[in-house]
Amino acid sequence: MSVQLKQLKSELSKELDSILNYWSKNTIDNQNDGFIGQIDFHDHIIANTEKGSVLNARILWSFSASYQITKNEEHKKLAKRAFEFLSNNFYDAEFGGLFWSINTDKTPKDTKNQIYALAFAIYGLSEYYVISKDDKALAIAINLYLKIQKHSYDPVNKGYFEALTRDWQPIEDLRLSDKDANEKKTMNTHLHIVEAYANLFKVWKDKTLQNDIIELLQTIEKHFINTQTGHLRLFFDENWIEKPDVISYGHDIEAAWLLLQCAEISEDENLIANYKKYAIQMAEVTKEGLDTDGGLWYEFDPEKNELVAEKHWWVQAEALIGFYNAYQLTENESYLNIVLNNWEFIKKHILDKQNGEWYWGINKDNSLIEKDKAGFWKCPYHNGRACLELIDRIKTE
């Protein structure tokens, strides 16, 4: 192993500890149970903020996955806390779904079944099952999978609808967030459904689930990957008519490695071969979004022919894995150099060296984006996973 890689692995191990330490020390909600709903840019806790199911599920995944490397009992304890809070408060025992958000007093706030959130719950619960062997965690994960298949799956055109009401009826506003198009089928949700299903399959070797993963990967290949350009298509209506949008460099590079991982878990040789090709193609086209400082820009708007000139924390985290994955597949040193340069960029601009965790990102002029340190969308999942993936992938000789 090169000295550079040894150093990178060592630095990422320390950074993983730092991220987990931040969440352990700052986000426990001793007053209302569970975890704090929001910590702002200045590390101030915003009182009485709603708590999001996605944040809780990602905390559950992060501490469960990290415990397997750190063997730190505190991490296992926090994973258990996240599991109990999710199963007691977000899981909707009446209808078998998942509340999108709850109030600080644990009463449901937004009760819609956003399939993206159900997927992250499956992802977190199945990871927690690995370290706990808690049958309740596995049972809830399986039930959420069955509910997605029953209510969100489109048997006519394939793929999955974005959202439904609490009692699984059609819903007007399907969007994950204000910036998203209000469309019925999105790349982002499909990416995270297959990620969740693959993680569940690792602990529950169900043949129907395996077939669902294979079909999902085929659907993603057919509709979401633009095999001409290598970029992802993001939004569609129920009949797979595309609603053109931005190029999302973060999602391109995340999908590059993550979909290959899912294909490998599916054990389908054709899909593995195809997704190896896409992993390299998508990494190659994501290079368009790299800046000279090693950072990866957020998005490009083809209609306006301009960059969305921000560099977000999660985009950098996914770049580390996606380009390292391309290096592993090709042994092309240029991909490794991108990883090393990107890590230098992260250390210089994204890490909060004083208080811990990663800043949301920086603007074009290198000023900090003054958004949450922890919140609805700001979690230890992307950056924690980047550390975990590279620690695992950089083999010590």
- How much of the chain exceeds pLDDT 90, in percent? 95
Rounded (10°) CA dihedral 83, 62, 371, 286 = -140
SS (H, E, C) 149-201: HHHHECCCCCCECCEECCCCCCCCCCCCCCCCCCCCEEHHHHHHHHHHHHHHH
The mean pLDDT of the chain is 96
As a whole number, mean pLDDT of residues 176-204 equals: 91
Is residue 142 very low, low, confident or very high in pLDDT (cuts 50, 70, 90)? very high
The whole domain housing 177 covers: 3-393
Count of the separate structural domains present in the chain = 1
Structure tokens at 40: 């702002």
User: Are the beta carbons of 253 and 232 closer than 8 angstroms?
Assistant: no
Phi-psi region of 231 (alpha: psi -120 to 50; beta: other; left: phi over 0): beta
Q: What angle do CA 362, 249, 38 make, to 5 degrees?
A: 50
Is residue 397 very low, low, confident or very high in pLDDT (cuts 50, 70, 90)? very low
Give SS3 for 34. coil
Token pair 């590079």: residue? 253
User: Are the beta carbons of 162 and 186 closer than 8 angstroms?
Assistant: yes
From residue 159, how far is each of 131, 231, 239, 258, 261 by CA, in Å?
31, 19, 10, 18, 20
Q: What is the pLDDT of residues 236-283, one digit of tens each?
A: 999 999 999 999 999 999 999 999 999 999 999 999 999 999 999 999
Give the list of residues 6+ apart from residue 353 with CB closer than 8 angstroms, or none.
none
Is residue 118 very low, low, confident or very high in pLDDT (cuts 50, 70, 90)? very high
Q: What is the pLDDT of residues 348-370, one digit of tens each?
A: 999 999 999 999 999 999 999 99
DSSP annotation string for 121-153: HHHHHHHHHHHH--HHHHHHHHHHHHHIIIIIB
Exposure letters 224-251 (e unless 16+ CB within 10 A, then b) = bbbeeebbbbbbbeeebeeeebbbbbbb
Q: Reply yes or no on whether the pLDDT at 176 is more than 70.
A: no
Query: Distance of alpha carbon 355 from its chain centroid, rounded?
Result: 24
As a whole number, mean pLDDT of residues 386-396 equals: 93
User: Are the beta carbons of 151 and 171 closer than 8 angstroms?
Assistant: no
- Rounded Cα–Cα distance for residues 96 and 162 (Å): 17
- Rounded Cα–Cα distance for residues 234 and 186 (Å): 6
Cα distance from N-terminal residue to C-terminal residue, the chain? 6
DSSP annotation string for 44-109: -B-TT--EEHHHHHHHHHHHHHHHHHH--HHHHHHHHHHHHHIIIIIEETTTTEE-SEE-TTS-EE
What is the pLDDT at residue 1? 61
**CATH number of the domain where residue 177 is located:** 1.50.10.10
Exposure letters 330-354 (e unless 16+ CB within 10 A, then b) = beeeebbebbbbbbebbeebbbeee
- Rounded Cα–Cα distance for residues 46 and 157 (Å): 43
